Amino acid sequence: MIFIDACFKRSTPTAPVWLMRQAGRYLEEYRATRAKAKDFIDFCRRPELAAEATLQPIDILNVDAAILFSDILVVPLEMGMQLEFVEKHGPILHNPIRTQSDLDRLSDHSVDRLGYVYDAVKLVRAKLDQKKALIGFAGSPWTLATYMIEGGGSKNYAIIKKMVYSQSELLHKLLDRLSRAVGGYLLRQIEAGANAVQIFDSWGGALEKSAFFEFSWRYMLQIADRIKAEYPKIPIILFSKGAGCYLENVSGNFDVFGVDWNTPIERAKDILFDRYALQGNMEPARVYSKNAIEEGALEIARVMGKENGYIFNLGHGMQPDFSRQNAKYLVDLIHETFAR
């Protein structure tokens, strides 16, 4: 699997490519699969449908890795929170976590209740080309906590940040519980057949430097340590959106650092590439234009083109109105441009 080889900096014939949020509404096939489910949560809970959505970008784009179709919010859902996805608005978590008694009502059995995810992993791994990797994933404790405390998406993270500076003990209790749940969840995905795992810390960048390491990065490393102790040969990818200013302090036992689109890849290379493989980081909006794709890909190739241990990706996720033709064009262009 060239994706796994690149994670461990072994030589590969070209740079492997996959795209964050590669399964999604920009594909008509995805929309057709989603229409078979009652709603988005039902979709996530049906392994045959999740497997179908996972495999679509492999067939359509020829990416080198599949990422399991699911959502980071299935963990709070199975901890007992009431989750709803509202069309054109996003996720809502009812009765958000604000107090110790809110914490007390969360279940510690989410790992066992997520069997439908492990079933989807098994179905995908049985059908997926042996040369392609299957990436399992979870949200970081911090990013999950933002949804659980704010009650949904947030612009300024006012409630959770108030907790950072005035109720840090309570927040650490929640993060610790999430860290255990996420660690167990990723281990079970690996047991079911996932070949690598990525932790999405989409909102780590909401924190100033010291708080980022205390409330977000530390818990990601705790999970990584637990996985490495059991599965040293499963690559771990950590992706923190907005952590580009904090690279000097990045360390720990993981394999691939996911570079977001705000971070100059040259800077990530200078600071991290002697210790970690790198994944990223084309600005997703470039997918709107073939010229912009070419320009972006060439710029990254100038920096990373000759290097083993580099995985092409966007610096954040695909959007619903992106064109599949352009996405396919991008994947083919990368395979050609980075061929050794």
Contact between residue 218 and residue 176 where contact means Cβ atoms under 8 Å apart: no
In the DSSP assignment, the letter for residue 24 is S
Distance of closest approach, residue 114 Cβ to ligand CP3, in angstroms? 15
CA atoms within 13 A on the CB side of 261: 16
Please confirm, yes or no, whether 108 is among the known catalytic residues. no
Give CA 184 to chain center in angstroms. 17
Cβ nearer to ligand CP3, comparing 138 with 224: 138
Pairing of strands 310-314, 277-282: parallel
Give CA 239 to chain center in angstroms. 7
Taking CB under 6 A as the binding criterion, the range among 19-27, 257-265, 274-282, 330-338 that sits at the site for ligand CP3 is 19-27
Report if residue 67 touches ligand CP3, rule: CB under 6 A: yes
Please confirm, yes or no, whether 329 is among the known catalytic residues. no
Please confirm, yes or no, whether 34 is among the known catalytic residues. yes
Q: Restricting to residues 202-231, which ones interact with ligand CP3 according to CB under 6 A? A: 202
Distance of closest approach, residue 339 Cβ to ligand CP3, in angstroms? 25
Taking CB under 6 A as the binding criterion, the range among 14-22, 185-193, 206-214, 298-306 that sits at the site for ligand CP3 is 14-22
Report if residue 121 touches ligand CP3, rule: CB under 6 A: no
Figure out which of the listed residues 2, 33, 34, 161 binds ligand CP3, where binding follows CB under 6 A.
34
Distance of closest approach, residue 228 Cβ to ligand CP3, in angstroms? 22
Please confirm, yes or no, whether 25 is among the known catalytic residues. yes
Figure out which of the listed residues 3, 26, 69, 273 binds ligand CP3, where binding follows CB under 6 A.
69
Distance of closest approach, residue 237 Cβ to ligand CP3, in angstroms? 12
Please confirm, yes or no, whether 31 is among the known catalytic residues. no
CA torsion 62-63-68-73 (nearest 10°) is -120
In the DSSP assignment, the letter for residue 260 is P
Q: What is the pattern of x (binds ligand CP3, CB under 6 A) and - over residues 142-161?
A: -----------x--------
Taking CB under 6 A as the binding criterion, the range among 70-78, 111-119, 156-164, 209-217 that sits at the site for ligand CP3 is 70-78
| Kind plus residue range of the DSSP H or E element containing 236 | strand 236-240
Query: What sign does the dihedral 118-121-126-130 (CA atoms) show?
Result: negative
Taking CB under 6 A as the binding criterion, the range among 67-75, 257-265, 268-276, 292-300 that sits at the site for ligand CP3 is 67-75
Contact between residue 82 and residue 93 where contact means Cβ atoms under 8 Å apart: yes
Report if residue 240 touches ligand CP3, rule: CB under 6 A: no
Report if residue 40 touches ligand CP3, rule: CB under 6 A: yes
Q: Is 267 exposed, middle or buried (0-12, 13-18, 19+ CB in 10 A)?
A: middle
The string of DSSP letters for 37-104 reads SSSHHHHHH-HHHHHHHHHHHHHHH--SEEE----TTHHHHHTT-EEEEETTTEEEEES---SHHHHH
**Token pair for 260:** 């977001």
Q: Is 81 exposed, middle or buried (0-12, 13-18, 19+ CB in 10 A)?
A: buried
Distance of closest approach, residue 30 Cβ to ligand CP3, in angstroms? 7
Distance in angstroms (rounded) separating the CA atoms of residues 114 and 117: 6
Taking CB under 6 A as the binding criterion, the range among 6-14, 15-23, 95-103, 328-336 that sits at the site for ligand CP3 is 15-23
How many residues at the interface with ligand CP3, by CB under 6 A?
Answer: 21
Report if residue 200 touches ligand CP3, rule: CB under 6 A: yes
**Site residues (vs ligand CP3, CB under 6 A):** 20-25, 34, 40, 67, 69, 71-73, 85, 90-91, 137, 153, 200, 202, 317
Q: Would you please indicate which residues are annotated as catalytic (active-site) residues?
A: 21, 25, 34, 71, 147
